[in-house]
Structure formats: structure tokens, C-alpha cells
Amino acid sequence: MTHPLLSPLHERHVALGAKFSEFGGWLMPLQYAGVVAEHKAVRSAVGLFDVSHLGKMRISGPGAVEFVNGCLTNDLARIVPGQAQYTMLCNAAGGVIDDMIVYLFSDDEVFVIPNAANTAEVVATLVAAAPDPVSVTDEHTAYAVIAVQGSDSDAVLAALGLPVGQDYMSFARANFAGGELTVCRTGYTGERGYELVVPSGAAGSVWDAVLAAGADYGITCCGLGARDTLRTEMGYPLHGHDLSPQISPVMANLNWAVGWDKPSFFGAEALRAARTAKAGPVLRGLKATGRAIPRPEMAVYSGEAAVGEVTSGTFSPTLGAGIGLALLDRSVVIGDLVEVAIRDRREPFEVVKLPFVATGVRES
């Protein structure tokens, strides 16, 4: 029996009374005080997350950036060193092996944060493709990732002397507690915030310092339950639900994260064909008009016709209603009314434009 990996911050979560769940082979906090309270804290003030289960890998050496750009969907030529980019690794059929954030450190080095469950496959895929002298290194357990999310995140980090105010999807290096960390203006909540990439040995001291600095701002420790409700309100996809080896960027409405003008990338031929064909299901938002809460794999109907399936579903604390993402036939458009099969009944939902809520993710 394989035991789940533990975050470098595990003992701190135990002391804080966290409830745990396994995510991608890691035992991580699901919630502390409760998902709704943690969700609202991020939307109104500031929340603190441990997301150290996320993968970490480094690709370096002469030609590293060119190599990565020939593998992943987005175009690294769109950014410069000091910036980050959302992108995907696809299979030959155009399905998504994983989605990830790439941090461009220099012309010869990128740092990649994939999803925990897919890190080994992403590493293996890129190792197999990498030419000499490009090096692909799995650094999954070498670093922790601490997310500080919410409108007060700047004030909390500034109190520690850390760099704040970077443009969205940009990052800065900083020395703190005798070591170097990376402060990234990124996140998965839709709010203004930062992710701190910290050497695992320094994670405890950084977590403690952020928690202390945030006391005056009502900082709340948040688990991955609130992370899921927050990302669903934004319509952000979750791999294994809204993206998968069978669900392509075209189906998931992520054409903006594909460098269509690049000469080549993994899955390019299939994705270009799918984009041209304009066929097959696409990801849409569903909002309950009643009290129902959708869940993954529930069927969606328009009249008597089955038109798709829910991929993610939850209760939105901000809207006070059930919301979900669903892969729907292209005949179903925003504004349509559909029904979701919940147990032995069908519940009414409206097809809505994403995101479900307006937030401050890009506020300067």
C-alpha cells in the first residue's frame, strides 16, 4: 500500500485542526473552519492556502525555452523573463495531459508547476522528448507552494518586506528568512493574490510569518475545498474534470491559451483540425434557477434530448446557488434553459457566461 505524501507544513495543519483529504497522492487540508467561511474570507479579505501538492519541475540548458515552446500549447514568445504563462501539454489527439503554469526565468531556464497527479507523466513526456543539452528535472518535493489570496494580500506580504504590486502573471525573487523565494502574482481563486514558491526546508518559517503578518487583516487558513468553490465561480478548469486526455483546449474554450501561429507543438495537428471543424461539445457555465446543486457526471437535457454532462459542480457561497461547468452540444447557447438530472428528477438551470462572479484578479 502506498501512503500519501505529506506537505512540509503537515504538522502545522494538524495543530490548526484541519480536516484532510487525499489529492493527487498527497494528504492535504480539505478545510479548517469550513468551506463557506474560508471561501468568503478570500472574497472579502485574505486567505492562506498550502498548495505544496502541486508539481514543480525545472527545464534548463541551451535551447530550453525553444524546446518547451515546441511542446506546450501557449507561445512563450508572448512573455519575457519575469513573467508566467498558463499553458497545456497535449497528446497527439489534442486531449490535455495536464494544464500548468510556466515561469520564464531566463532564455535558458523555465520553472513549471503542473498538477500533482500528473507531474510524473509530464516529467516523463518531456524527458523523453528533450534534446541534449536540455535538462528536465523533477523538483516536486524540493519546494512548497503557499498561496496568499484576497484583496488584503498585498498588505500582508508588504508587512514582511516581500515584493508586491507585480503585474498579473509576473513574479519577483526575494530573500526571506535567510533563503530565496519566488513571489508570483498568480492564483486559482479569481482574487488578487500571490503564490510563494519556497524551498521545502523554509516552508514552516514562511507560513508562520505570513500567518502572523495577516493577523491584523483577519487572515484565514483555507483548505482545498474552498479552493475548489473559488475556482468554479471563476470558471477555471480542473484537470480530471473539465480537462482530460479526452477533453481538448478547443472543447474547454481555452483557445486563448494556444499559440496557433507557432510552427508546432504537441497535438497541434488535431487541435487545428478541431478548431476549423467547430464541431463537438464545448464547456459552458450552468447556474441553478432553483435550489439544486449539480455534480460531475450528471446528464444535461434540453427538452427530451440529452445535450451534455456536468464536469464540475458545487454550491456558490457568493451567489447562494448551485453552479457548474458542463460539456454541452454547440446547439446550446448562453441564455438557454436546460435541466440537470439529479437523482430521480430534473432540475432547471440557465446556461450563463463565465465567470459566474466578478472578482479582482487583474486589479492593479
What pLDDT digit, counting tens, does each position of 19-71 carry? 999 999 999 999 999 999 999 999 999 999 999 999 999 999 999 999 999 99
**Confidence at residue 359, expressed as pLDDT on a 0 to 100 scale:** 80
Residue 288 in any domain: the answer is yes
- Cell of residue 156, nine digits: 500582508
Are 41 and 146 found together in one domain? yes
- Cell of residue 198, nine digits: 519556497
Are 50 and 155 found together in one domain? yes
**Confidence at residue 240, expressed as pLDDT on a 0 to 100 scale:** 97
**Confidence at residue 283, expressed as pLDDT on a 0 to 100 scale:** 98
**Confidence at residue 2, expressed as pLDDT on a 0 to 100 scale:** 79
Are 320 and 341 found together in one domain? yes
Residue 108 in any domain: the answer is yes
Are 100 and 176 found together in one domain? no
Number of domains observed in the structure of the chain? 3
| DSSP per position, 269-312 | HHHHHHHHHT-S-EEEEEEESSS----TT-EEEETTEEEEEEEE
Q: Which of 118, 138, 158 is the last residue of a domain?
A: 138
Domain range spanning residue 100?
57-138
Q: Which pairs from 330-335 meet CB under 8 Å and 24+ separation?
A: 330/278, 330/279, 330/280, 330/281, 330/282, 331/302, 331/307, 332/284, 332/300, 332/302, 332/307, 332/308, 334/284
Residue 251 in any domain: the answer is no
Are 121 and 228 found together in one domain? no
Are 307 and 334 found together in one domain? yes
Are 321 and 198 found together in one domain? no
What pLDDT digit, counting tens, does each position of 118-161 carry? 999 999 999 999 999 999 999 999 999 999 999 999 999 999 99
Q: In what order do the strands lie in the sheet with 171-176?
A: 171-176, 179-184, 193-199, 143-149, 47-50, 220-222
Are 204 and 287 found together in one domain? no
**Contacts with 343 (C-beta within 8 Å, 6 or more apart), sequence order:** none
Each residue's pLDDT expressed in tens, for the chain with a length of 364 residues: 679 999 999 999 999 999 999 999 999 999 999 999 999 999 999 999 999 999 999 999 999 999 999 999 999 999 999 999 999 999 999 999 999 999 999 999 999 999 999 999 999 999 999 999 999 999 999 999 999 999 999 999 999 999 999 999 999 999 998 889 999 999 999 999 999 999 999 999 999 999 999 999 999 999 999 999 999 999 999 999 999 999 999 999 999 999 999 999 999 999 999 999 999 999 999 999 999 999 999 999 999 999 999 999 999 999 999 999 999 999 999 999 999 999 999 999 999 999 999 887 766 4
Are 227 and 149 found together in one domain? yes
Are 167 and 48 found together in one domain? yes
**Confidence at residue 246, expressed as pLDDT on a 0 to 100 scale:** 98
Are 224 and 155 found together in one domain? yes
Q: Residue-wise over 280-317: b if at least 16 C-beta within 10 A, else e? A: ebbbbbbbbeeebbbebebebebeeeebbbbbbbbbbb
Question: What's the CATH code of the domain at 114?
Answer: 3.30.70.1400
